[in-house]
Structure 1
Amino acid sequence: MHFACVPGQERFDVAELIVIRHGQASFGAENYDVLSDLGRAQSRAAGEWLRRAQWHPDRIVTGTLERQIDTASEMGFDPVPEQHPGLNEYDFGNLLEARFPEGLPELVNADRKVHFRTLRETVFAWQRGEIDNPYESWEQFATRVEAARAFALDTTAKRVLVVSSGGVIGQMVAASLQAPAEHMMNLNLQIKNAAMTRFMFSGSLFSLNEFNSTPHYATPEGANLMSYS
């Protein structure tokens, strides 16, 4: 891995934060917040690849969602995970109910393309303040993600592993690049299950090093593990 040091700063002063998206959950099931068998396999593959690369976390932080906690468990590292609710995903179901108070369009849950198109449009409306009475505002979401990031970085650890969800990761990346809010959603929809996004940090330095990386899928067998939802 390669990264540039800021002037006057030694390389060993810079720490790493890897944020991994949870493994595949149970899309379309009554309880989405449960890893599928594929999701568990993805999580184990990510942990095995990091160990082969001799990358062992000194600190682990997850959200409080079951799929995030179980992903960290399946990765099999020693540090006992801490939790921060700011790493939890936004509640898309609530946003849909607020946007469509008379009921969802029929195809939203029946057709994957319609589902994700509706997801994108709903989040854009949320960001513009066009959804009445959401469970949390866009500003509240962005604020809690930033609080979770600050919590993860408030450490002497040199290697921090965070397990979160696509929307949180998209927002963290967009904010690090000082990109417009809409880019959060464009990034969110690209993020693969158990993909790794890496940042470098030291003091006020926080910079993106790698986005949506899946080296653990870079074999014929591993390619069968890839999924996006």
Structure 2
Amino acid sequence: MAELLVIRHGQASFGQDNYDVLSDLGHAQSAAVGQMLRDGGWVPDRLVTGTLKRQRDTLTSMGFDGGAAEEHAGLNEYDFADLLNARFKGQVPDVVKGDRKTHFRTLRETVFDWQDAAFDGASETYADFAARVEAAREFATQTQAKRVLVISSGGVIGQMTATALGAPARQMMQLNLQIKNTAMTRFMFSGPMFSLHEFNATPHFASAAGAKLLSYS
């Protein structure tokens, strides 16, 4: 039996011109989870990230050799800005852009509509997103490695988890919104067998000092 440990990237830059940049907190979160893995003797045999900067930089700040990592674009997040633009036909309300609570409530509704193909104009259909996440999962698990470390994003982890559980499509987004920055979701695999072992775990935030690192976006 082998392990696939999927970690969400550290906090990025919500509300900034370029979201795809780790904040100082994101780097600190990444360092904390990397140190926890080393302290526990968990050493990966294989490293895989998406192609996004925030994913690659999370691995580097964890203290692992980002240059040795393989990349698979199927691990990239769905383009939430593109979905909102498509739903609102390019006129996204300012409150959706700037207010965190409104943004994520609206995004949840938008993803549900995306899953139902209720609007046109998105650069990627939900079916295409689900297919590329599955392709990335197969890529990561078709290996002789026993410990595979993947750095990805909340939507991908939510989709992978929902699929492993045989859950309805809506569950992908319900899971997505729960996932903390640098949280660990662990799967076990062997040949065609793939099952969830642990979801959204953050033992590196369990101490008083670690609790100050907690974030969701």
2:213: which partner in 1? 225
> Amino acid of the residue matched to residue 126 of structure 2?
W
- CA shift, 1:106, in A, is 2.8
Q: Matched residues in 2 for 1:102 and 1:70: separation?
A: 31
Q: Does 1:161 align with 2:163?
A: no
Q: Matched residues in 1 for 2:33 and 2:125: separation?
A: 33
Q: Which runs of 5+ in 1 are unaligned?
A: 1-13
Q: Is the 8 A contact 1:88 1:165 kept in 2?
A: yes
- CA shift, 1:109, in A, is 1.4
1:181: which partner in 2? 169
TM-score, structure 2 normalization: 0.98
1:59: which partner in 2? 46
Q: Is the 8 A contact 2:59 2:65 kept in 1?
A: no
Higher helix proportion, which one? 2
Q: Does 1:216 align with 2:174?
A: no
Q: Which runs of 5+ in 2 are unaligned?
A: none
Q: Matched residues in 1 for 2:16 and 2:90: separation?
A: 22
Over the matched positions of the two proteins, sequence identity in percent amounts to 67
Q: Does 1:77 align with 2:64?
A: yes
1:76-225 matches, cutoff 5 A: 76-78=63-65, 80-101=68-89, 103-225=91-213
- CA shift, 1:133, in A, is 2.1
1:4: which partner in 2? none
1:46: which partner in 2? 33
> Amino acid of the residue matched to residue 146 of structure 1?
E
- Give every structure 1 segment of 4 or more consecutive aligned residues whose post-TM-superposition deviation is greater than 2 Å: none
2:11: which partner in 1? 24
After superposition, the Cα gap between the structure-2 partners of 1:102 and 1:164, relative to the gap in structure 1 and judged at 3 Å, is closer
- CA shift, 1:56, in A, is 0.4
- CA shift, 1:107, in A, is 1.0
> Amino acid of the residue matched to residue 104 of structure 2?
F
Q: Matched residues in 2 for 1:198 and 1:133: separation?
A: 34
- CA shift, 1:72, in A, is 0.6
105-114 or 57-66, larger mean C-alpha shift: 105-114
> Amino acid of the residue matched to residue 143 of structure 1?
A
- Superposed CA offset, 1:108-129 (max 9, x none): 0121111011000000000001
Secondary structure at 1:175 match in 2: helix
Q: Matched residues in 1 for 2:115 and 2:37: separation?
A: 35
- CA shift, 1:102, in A, is 5.1
**Count of aligned pairs:** 216
